[in-house]
Amino acid sequence: MANESQSRDMQVKGKQEVAGAAEQTRPGRVFIPPVDISEDENVITLLADMPGVAPNDVNIDVRENTLTLSGEIKPFEGAEETDILVEYDTGQYYRQFTLPELVDQDKIDAQLKDGVLTLVLPKAEAAKPKKIEIKNN
Amino acid sequence: MITRRLFDFPDFGWRNSFEEMERMRRYLDQVLGQSEAGLRIPAAGVFPLVNLTETKENYMLRAELPGVTAQDLDIQTTGRNITISGERKIEPDPNVRYHRREREPGRFSRAMTLPGDIDREKIEASLENGVLTITIPKSEKARPRQITIKS
């Protein structure tokens, strides 16, 4: 099945904008980055597409059980450039998640490569599943 | 694979109508105080979406390709046409449980016709933070030339 999905032609998906103008304090548009979230016994892994964001301009915040991702982009276009065709808009990225389990906040690992943010959130000891042995008497 | 051509318009006069529409759209947004989300239809429904700008010397073509490496990209030109094709690879990890799968893998190919003649020898492409930028120099005869008025 993995190979099947790999060979598919990509479809155009418009960027989704954050709903509600009340959230913004700065002008400009704010988009929701698409994410993959996976989980195993020890970590929750989050991958987010944030094209155009430099590694220093991404902000990750975990407070209690809310994870906030935001990324800023700098304008790409030089001052002398005039638009001929605009198919996509650029703007900030913003997305919040409620984490289902306790996360060890000191050990969060973030990496931004080729416009993809990889966030590894280790689960806190208390949140890891413990196997309970059934004793036979 | 679907490829669609843009700019199959006559060279003369079409650009102004685009600019006019864009200006009108911005004006309406201002008046209505709304964003244009949902109102805009991509000019060509082929991945990747591109933005094209120009300076006096160059065309600048940009596309957002997060997670695509230079090895996975193929850029070719013939005449005024430029083709961007490649594949975005996302290997699913069989050992984990997925909660969300919003990022899509797949192949893509897009062909475009530029509005003017280009110097194919000097095209440069860079991939930075998931954004592909192709700098396409205009050919000598397509560059604007200043004309001095003799008195």
| Number of compact structural domains in chain B | 1
User: Which distant-in-sequence residues (6+ apart) come within 8 Å of B40 by Cβ?
Assistant: A14, B25
Q: Does A74 touch chain B (CB under 8 A)?
A: no
Which chain A residue lies closest to B51 (C-alpha atoms)?
A86
Q: Which amino acid is at A5?
A: S
Distance of residue A113 Cα from the nearest chain B Cα, in angstroms? 7
- Collect the ranges in chain A with pLDDT lower than 50: 1-6
Residue B8 and residue B14 in contact, taking contact as beta carbons nearer than 8 Å? no
Domain membership flag for residue B78: yes
Q: Check residue A120 and give its pLDDT.
A: 93
Q: What is the pLDDT of residue B41?
A: 45
The whole-model pTM stands at 0.74
Amino acid in position A99:
L
Closest CA to B89 of B103, B75, B100: B103
Q: Nearest residue on chain A to B60, judged by CA atoms?
A: A81
Are the CB atoms for A44 and A65 separated by under 8 Å? no
What local confidence, expressed as pLDDT, does residue B69 receive?
A: 92
Q: Is position B80 within any domain?
A: yes
Which residues does chain A have within 8 Å of residue B92's beta carbon, measured at their own beta carbons?
Answer: 2, 5
Of the candidates B48, B77, B51, the residue with the CA atom closest to the CA atom of residue B139: B77
Query: What is the enclosing helix (H) or strand (E) of B16?
Result: helix B14-32
B14-62 per-position pLDDT tens digit: 555 666 777 777 677 666 655 444 444 445 567 888 899 999 899 999 9
From chain B, the residues in CB contact with A83 under 8 A are 19, 22, 51-53
Coil, strand or helix at B44: coil
Chain A interface includes B32 (CB < 8 A)? no
**Which residues are within 8 A (CB) of A70 and not within 5 positions of it... i.e. 6 or more apart?**
A58, A59, A61, A92, A93, A94, A95
B8 inside domain: no
Listed by number, the residues of chain B in 57-96 with a beta carbon closer than 8 Å to a beta carbon of chain A are 59-60, 62, 64-69, 87-93, 95-96
Is B147 domain-assigned?
A: no
Residues of A whose CB is below 8 A from B97? 38-40
Q: Is residue B34 part of a domain?
A: no
Give the distance from residue A60's alpha carbon to the nearest chain B alpha carbon, in angstroms. 17
Using a CB-CB cut-off of 8 Å, the residues of chain B touching A40 are 95-97
Task: Find the residue in B nearest to A31 (Cα).
Answer: B37
- Give me the mean pLDDT over the B140-150 stretch: 84
Model pLDDT, residue B44: 58
pLDDT at B30: 62
In-domain check, residue B119:
yes
Question: Measured between alpha carbons, how far is A93 from A70 in angstroms, rounded to an integer?
Answer: 5
**To probe the interface with A, which of B11, B51, B89, B135 has the most A CB atoms within 10 Å?**
B51
How buried is A79 (Cβ within 10 angstroms: 0-12 exposed, 13-18 middle, 19+ buried)?
Answer: exposed
Domain range for B137 is 45-92+101-141
The H-or-E segment that residue A37 falls in is strand A35-39
Q: Which residues of A touch B98 (CB under 8 A)?
A: 36-38
Decide if A102 contacts A128 (C-beta within 8 A).
no
The DSSP H or E segment spanning B14 is: helix B14-32
Contact A11 B47 (CB under 8 A): yes
The domain that holds B83 is classified in CATH as 2.60.40.790
pLDDT at residue B126 in the model: 94
Residue B114 lies in a domain: yes
pLDDT in tens, B98-139: 988 999 889 999 998 898 889 989 999 999 999 999 999 999
B 117-136: CB under 8 A from A: 127, 129-131, 133
B103 contacts A34? CB cut-off 8 A: yes
- Position B13 in a domain: no
Q: In this model, does residue B13 exceed pLDDT 70?
A: no
